[in-house]
Structure 1
Amino acid sequence: MNLKNSILILSVLSVLAGLESCNRRSEKSKKEIQDSIKTEALKKWDETIPGSFSDQTDIKFDSAALGKFFKSYPELAVYKDSISEFYKRRNYAYAWFDKKGIIEQAGNLADRIRNIDTEGVSSKSVPYTKDLDSLIYADQGRKTPSTETELMLTGQYFVFANKVWQGVDEKASKSVQWYVPRKKVSYSDLLDSLLTNKSSVYTVEGRPVYRQYMLLKSFLTKYRELESQREVTTIGLDAGKKSYKIGDSSDNIVKIRKRLHFLGDYKESDTLSALYDANLKEAVSNFQERHGLTNDGVIGAGTIKEMNVPLRDRVKTIIVNMERFRWVPAGLNKEYLGVNIPEYKLHVYNADSLLWSCNVVVGKELHKTVVFQGDLKYIVFSPYWNVPPSIVRNEILPAMNRNAGYLKQHNMEITGHENGLPVIRQLPGKDNSLGLVKFLFPNNFNIYLHDTPAKSLFSMEDRAFSHGCIRVSEPKKLAEFLLKDDKAWDSISIDKAMHQTKEKWVTLKNPVPVFISYFTAFVDRKGQINFRKDIYDRDSALEKMILN
C-alpha cells in the first residue's frame, strides 16, 4: 500500500467516524441522507488522487529554469532548496508531465489547494492560486510540457505540505508556550514517493500527520455545515430554577432536546416533548461527557453554558487544535505517557493503542503546567518533598510566623539555609504533599508526576489546583505499569515501598517518553468530538496567529 492509498483510507475512515452516531439510527432523516451523499462524493473525489504518477525519466528541463522561476514567483523561494534538491535527485526529469502531456494528478493537487480551507488552513495564505489554475488550464490537451507549470505544481505541493503537515514554524509555537519538540517531515521524500509510486512510506514513523488531525478534519466539515444551518436560539433556565432533572417539564427542555438532536447527542425523532425523560437524560449525559462535565444528567448552568457556545467558536477551536496536532509526532512504536492538560487526564499508550487513562490535577492559572516532552527515568517511593523556595517564601514562612508549631504539625524539617531562606523538606508518609510515590523525568521546568493525599480533588470537574506538577489519581497502577518488565518488582513489593518511612529510588531499565500537551478539542474512542475549557487561555493567541 502506498502513501496515497493510506491517506485515502484514513480520510474515509475519519469521515465515517464523524458520522458513526448518525448511522446507528434505525431510520435516516433527509439530512442524514444528504450527509451520506456528501460523504460518498468526498470518497469519489479522493479516489482520483492515487494512481500512477509520472515516473518517466526521458523528458527533462534545464536546471537554469529554477532561478528564473523563483524570480517570477518570489513567495515560493522559501522552498527553493527543497525544490532544487528534489529535481537534482530526479536529474531534472518532469514529474507532472509524461509523453501524453500533463498528468491527472496535477488537477488533483490543484483541487487540494483550492479546498485547503477543509484542512483548517486559510486559502488566503496560499500564494499564486490563480496562476496555478491558469497554467493548468493552458496545458490541458498539450503534449509539450511546460517548465513553468511543472515548477508551479511542485512549489504548490511544498506550500500544501508545509501548511497542512507542518504548520506554523517552531518559533511561533514556542510563543504560545508549546515546548514539545516539533516533528520533522521530509516533504521532498514524501513527494518523491508520491511521484515515483514507491512502496509506502506511510508507516507509524513516516506518516505526515497524527491520526487525530484527520479525525478533527472530518468534524471541521461537519461543524461548518451545522453552523450554516443553525438558527440561533439561546437556552436558559426557568426563573427560580437552578437545574433540570428527570420528571421536570419546561419549554426550555424542548430547546435542549432540539439542540442535542442537532448536535447528534439525542438520537430519538421526537424533539417537541417538554418532559425531561430517560432518553433525554442519556443524551444530556453524553453531551456532558463530551465537554468534560460531570455526566450526571442534571442540566445546570454549566451544561447550559456549553450548549450555548456558538458553533462558529467550536469551528475555531477545531482549527486551532488541528494546528496543534500538526506539531506532534505522527506516532511512536513504543510505550509512552500523554497528559492532556485541559482534559485533566493521563493516558497510557502502547504505540497508537490506548491502554488506560486516569484523572490528574494540573497547575492552577498562576502556576501553569508547562507543555513539553521528557523521558521518565526514575520512580521514587516514599519520597521527601523538597519544598520549592517560592512556596517557602510565600506560604510556609508566613504560616510559621502565625504558628510556631507549623513545621512539626506538617512533618517538615529545616535542613539548611540558602539565599537567605531556610531549606525545608517534608518527611515521607501518608500526609506528604507528594503522596507515596513520585515519577521523575528530568527537565528544566521542575515538573513531575506524583501521588497526593488530597484524593477528593480527582472527582472534581475542574482540576487545576497544583503549583505546576501533575498529581495522578492511580499512582500505584502507574508504578506497576512502569515496572512490569522488572522481575524485582510486583504489586506487593511496590505497595511495601510506598508505605515505608525511608525514601527509595528506582531507575527504570528503559525510560518512557512523557508528553505534556494542551488540546481543547479531540476525538474520543467512540468517534465523538470532545471539547474542553481553555483553562490557560491559549487558544485565542494561536487563533489570531493562524486565522487572521
Structure 2
Amino acid sequence: MRGPAAVLLFSFLVCLEWSVSPLVFSASLGNQIEVELRQLLETVPSSGRLPLGRDQVRLHPALREFYPARGFAPAWVSDQGTLPLVDVLLDALRDASSEGLCPEDYHLDVINSLLGLAADSPRNNLLFDPYWMARLDLLLTDGFLWYASDHLQGRQAFVEHRQQSRRENGADPAKLLDHALRRQRLQAALSDLVPSHAGYRRLMQELDRYRRIAVMGGWPSVPSGVIRPNERDGRVRLLKARLQITEKVAVFSGDEPDLLDAPTVRALRSFQKRHGLAVDGVLGPRTLVELNVAVEERIRQIELNLERWRWLPKTREKRYLQVNIADFSLKVVENDQVVMSMPVIVGNEYRKTPVFSGQMTYLEFAPYWYVPPTILREDKLPIIKRNPGWLKKNHYEIVPWSGAREAIDPERIDWKKVKAGNFPGVLRQKPGPWNPLGQVKFMFPNRFSIYLHDTSERHLFQRRVRLFSSGCIRIERPLDLAQYLLESQGWSCREVFDAVERDAPLRVSLNRPMPVQILYWTAWVDPDGTMNFRRDFYLRDLDMEVALEAWREGN
C-alpha cells in the first residue's frame, strides 16, 4: 500500500464508510474501540495481513501480544480523539528517511489520511466511528513496532544478511512501547532507538548532503581517457566541475581551465584516497569509474551502510578491534580514538570472510596450521597421492584422530585407497617461516572458525585489493598487535620475539578479552568528516538491494 494512488483510494473508501452520527460525547467510545480491537485481532489471518479497503497491511507479530496484555485498551486514542503522543510518534516516523529508512513502511500515508478525516469530524459535527478509530490505533502501534524492530534488529528484508552477526539484543518492541506509554517517556524511547555513535550520526549528515547534491542535479560525467598531471585536455573542465562538488580541497582558479594543474591534482588525490584507489593524481580508468558513479547510487550505498550500523549493539565497548573487510583494514580503538591500524588480507570471492562479532581470548605463538577439509580435499590430497614425500619436504605431518602425539608414517599408508572422507588422520604443518599462519594467531572462538593471523606471504600486503585468503584474516604487523595485547600482562618485546621463535606452539590467554568486530562497510565517515566509499567486492550491497526489492514486492 504505497504511493499517492493507494492513499487516494484508501481515503475514498474511508469517506464512504464514515459514520455520520451527531457530535455528542460518548463515554462508551473507548469500550467500543476495545471491542473492535479484540475482534480485529481475532480475525486477522495467520498470514498477519490486515485487510484495509482493497489493500492489505502486513502487521508486526508483536501486535498479538501487545493489545491482549493491556486488555485491548487503545494506546493512541481516547473518547476525545487522538492523544498528543500521536504527534511525537509521527515526528519520529517522518524523520526516518534521515536514517535511510522509508516512512511509508510505517503506514504514514494511511495514518495521515485517517488523522485528516478525524480532524474534520468536529468541524462537521460528526463523531469518529469506533470501527476506524480502532484501525487508526492499531496502525499507529504497528508503525511503532516496525520502527523499533528496524532499529533493534534491522529490517525484515535483511534477515538472512544479518544472521551472521547474530546480534543479541534483549529489547522487545511490544514491551518497549508498553513501558514508554506507562512511564510517559515515548519521546525518550524513540530517541534511544537511534544509534548514538558518532559514526552513525556522521553518516546521516553525509546522507543529507548527498541528497541535496542530487536535488541540485548531481554531478557531471567525465568522458573516458587517461589524463596525467600538467597535461592539457578539454575534459579537465568537467573534471574540475565534478571535483568541486564533493572534494573539500577543490579550490581552482579560472586561469587555465584545461590544465590538470596542482590544485586539481590535489583534489583528485583526495578523491582517490576517499575511494580506496591508488593515490597518484592520474585520471585513469579505475578513477573514472568511481568519478562517474551516479549520486543516486552513492545515496543508496550510504543508506545500506546505515542499515549495517543498526545491526550492531546499541552500546559499544570503549576498547575494541575492528576489521573492515571492504577496506582491507584493521583498527584498534580506545575511547573512540584509533591507537593502531594496519592493512589486512581477507577471504577471496569464493571463500568470503563473514561478518560477525566475538571476544578474543587467547594468542598462540608458533602455531601449527591444521589444513581445513576443503583445502585438504581440493588442494593437498591430489599432491600427496602423487608424491607422499612431499609431506616431509614441506614440513607436514599426519597425527592420529585419537590425539596421540606420535605422527603417522606416510610411507605405511596405502595412498591409492585414501580419499578425503577416509583420510587417516589430521594433516598439519609444523611451526616455522613456511607456515601460512606465520608466527602467531589471534583467537576469538566462533562458529565460522575465523581468526586473525600472521602470514608467510608478506608481499601480498603491497597489493591494493587484498582478496587472497580462504576466509581468515591475515594482518600486516602481528607482533605489534601481540605486544599491544600482552603489554598489560607484563610482556616485554624480547619475550614476544622469543615466543615466535619457538618450535612448538605456546598458548597465552588474555587476562582482559578483546572485543572483535568483523564488518563489511562500503561507506563510512572518518572522525574528521571525510566521506569514504569502497567497491562492493563481495556484492553484498547488491544482495541487499535485491533482498529489499523482493521484500517490497511481497509486502
The TM-score range, normalised by the shorter chain, is 0.7 to 0.9
Please tell me whether the aligned partners of residues 190 and 201 of structure 1 are also in contact (alpha carbons under 8 angstroms): no
Please tell me whether the aligned partners of residues 121 and 164 of structure 1 are also in contact (alpha carbons under 8 angstroms): no
Instruction: State which of 146, 153, 173 in structure 1 corresponds to 2:140.
Output: 153
* CA shift digits 1:306-346 (9 cap, x unpaired): 11112222122222222222222122234322222111112
Please tell me whether the aligned partners of residues 88 and 186 of structure 2 are also in contact (alpha carbons under 8 angstroms): no
- AA aligned to 1:466 is S
Instruction: State which of 211, 214, 217 in structure 2 corresponds to 1:230.
Output: 217
* CA shift digits 1:396-430 (9 cap, x unpaired): 34455777764455333344487444643222123
Superposed, 1:25-174 pairs within 5 Å as 61-62=30-31, 63-68=34-39, 70=41, 75=57, 76=59, 78-81=61-64, 83-84=66-67, 87=70, 92=73, 102=82, 104-114=84-94, 116-127=96-107, 129-135=109-115, 138-139=118-119, 148=134, 149-169=136-156, 173=158
Confirm whether residue 365 of structure 1 aligns to residue 349 of structure 2. yes
Confirm whether residue 209 of structure 1 aligns to residue 165 of structure 2. no
Structure 2 Cα separation of the partners of residues 331 and 424 of structure 1: 42
Instruction: State which of 157, 160, 171 in structure 2 corresponds to 1:175.
Output: 160
Give the structure 2 partner of residue 472 of structure 1.
475
**Alpha-carbon spacing, 1:394–1:81, altered in 2? closer, same or farther (3 Å):** same
Confirm whether residue 383 of structure 1 aligns to residue 367 of structure 2. yes
3-state SS of 2:428 partner: strand
Superposed, 1:281-320 pairs within 5 Å as 281-320=265-304
Please tell me whether the aligned partners of residues 321 and 514 of structure 2 are also in contact (alpha carbons under 8 angstroms): yes
Confirm whether residue 463 of structure 1 aligns to residue 466 of structure 2. yes
Please tell me whether the aligned partners of residues 182 and 328 of structure 1 are also in contact (alpha carbons under 8 angstroms): yes
How far did 1:448 drift?
1.1
Structure 2 alignment gaps of length 5 or more:
1-26, 45-49, 52-56, 400-407, 414-419
3-state SS of 2:487 partner: coil
Structure 2 Cα separation of the partners of residues 529 and 432 of structure 1: 39
* CA shift digits 1:217-264 (9 cap, x unpaired): 3322322222233366432444xx4x523x222222222221111123
How far did 1:381 drift?
0.4
3-state SS of 1:424 partner: strand
- AA aligned to 1:223 is Y
Structure 1 Cα separation of the partners of residues 218 and 517 of structure 2: 40
3-state SS of 1:506 partner: strand
Instruction: State which of 169, 173, 190 in structure 2 corresponds to 1:187.
Output: 173
Give the structure 1 partner of residue 515 of structure 2.
513
Confirm whether residue 446 of structure 1 aligns to residue 452 of structure 2. no
Structure 2 Cα separation of the partners of residues 231 and 60 of structure 1: 53
3-state SS of 1:507 partner: strand
3-state SS of 1:176 partner: helix
Give the structure 2 partner of residue 427 of structure 1.
430
Please tell me whether the aligned partners of residues 61 and 94 of structure 1 are also in contact (alpha carbons under 8 angstroms): no
RMSD: 3.7
Give the structure 1 partner of residue 206 of structure 2.
219
Give the structure 2 partner of residue 259 of structure 1.
242
Please tell me whether the aligned partners of residues 437 and 454 of structure 2 are also in contact (alpha carbons under 8 angstroms): yes
Structure 2 Cα separation of the partners of residues 203 and 354 of structure 1: 31
Please tell me whether the aligned partners of residues 412 and 426 of structure 1 are also in contact (alpha carbons under 8 angstroms): yes
Instruction: State which of 497, 504, 512 in structure 2 corresponds to 1:502.
Output: 504
- AA aligned to 1:252 is R
Give the structure 1 partner of residue 323 of structure 2.
339
- AA aligned to 1:67 is R
How far did 1:286 drift?
1.8
Please tell me whether the aligned partners of residues 332 and 352 of structure 1 are also in contact (alpha carbons under 8 angstroms): no
Give the structure 2 partner of residue 47 of structure 1.
none
Give the structure 2 partner of residue 493 of structure 1.
495
Structure 1 Cα separation of the partners of residues 512 and 176 of structure 2: 32
3-state SS of 2:359 partner: strand
Point out the structure with max Rg over C-alpha. Answer: 2
Structure 1 Cα separation of the partners of residues 172 and 541 of structure 2: 28
Please tell me whether the aligned partners of residues 59 and 94 of structure 1 are also in contact (alpha carbons under 8 angstroms): no
* CA shift digits 1:357-395 (9 cap, x unpaired): 221100111111122233222200011112223323333
3-state SS of 2:455 partner: coil
**Alpha-carbon spacing, 1:538–1:166, altered in 2? closer, same or farther (3 Å):** same
How far did 1:485 drift?
2.8
Please tell me whether the aligned partners of residues 450 and 471 of structure 1 are also in contact (alpha carbons under 8 angstroms): yes
How far did 1:105 drift?
4.8
Give the structure 2 partner of residue 278 of structure 1.
262
TM-score normalised per structure 2: 0.75
**Alpha-carbon spacing, 1:126–1:202, altered in 2? closer, same or farther (3 Å):** closer
Please tell me whether the aligned partners of residues 336 and 351 of structure 1 are also in contact (alpha carbons under 8 angstroms): no
3-state SS of 1:328 partner: coil
* CA shift digits 1:457-497 (9 cap, x unpaired): 2232101101111001121222123223323x232211211
Structure 2 Cα separation of the partners of residues 263 and 535 of structure 1: 23
**Alpha-carbon spacing, 1:476–1:276, altered in 2? closer, same or farther (3 Å):** same
Structure 1 Cα separation of the partners of residues 60 and 397 of structure 2: 63
- AA aligned to 2:250 is K
Structure 2 Cα separation of the partners of residues 365 and 275 of structure 1: 40
**Alpha-carbon spacing, 1:248–1:409, altered in 2? closer, same or farther (3 Å):** farther
Structure 2 Cα separation of the partners of residues 421 and 345 of structure 1: 37
Confirm whether residue 250 of structure 1 aligns to residue 229 of structure 2. no
3-state SS of 1:338 partner: strand
* CA shift digits 1:80-134 (9 cap, x unpaired): 145327746xx958667798x7555523533443454443233443336324443
Give the structure 2 partner of residue 13 of structure 1.
none
Please tell me whether the aligned partners of residues 344 and 360 of structure 1 are also in contact (alpha carbons under 8 angstroms): yes
Structure 2 Cα separation of the partners of residues 277 and 79 of structure 1: 61
Structure 2 Cα separation of the partners of residues 532 and 261 of structure 1: 20
Instruction: State which of 342, 352, 355 in structure 1 corresponds to 2:339.
Output: 355
**Alpha-carbon spacing, 1:124–1:174, altered in 2? closer, same or farther (3 Å):** closer
Please tell me whether the aligned partners of residues 220 and 241 of structure 2 are also in contact (alpha carbons under 8 angstroms): no
3-state SS of 1:367 partner: coil
Give the structure 1 partner of residue 311 of structure 2.
327
Aligned length: 480
Instruction: State which of 533, 545, 548 in structure 2 corresponds to 1:543.
Output: 545
Give the structure 2 partner of residue 268 of structure 1.
251
Structure 1 Cα separation of the partners of residues 432 and 361 of structure 2: 23
**Alpha-carbon spacing, 1:98–1:352, altered in 2? closer, same or farther (3 Å):** farther
- AA aligned to 1:363 is G
TM-score normalised per structure 1: 0.76
Give the structure 2 partner of residue 3 of structure 1.
none
Please tell me whether the aligned partners of residues 180 and 189 of structure 2 are also in contact (alpha carbons under 8 angstroms): no
Structure 1 alignment gaps of length 5 or more:
1-57
**Percent of matched pairs sharing the same residue:** 32
Structure 1 Cα separation of the partners of residues 218 and 185 of structure 2: 49
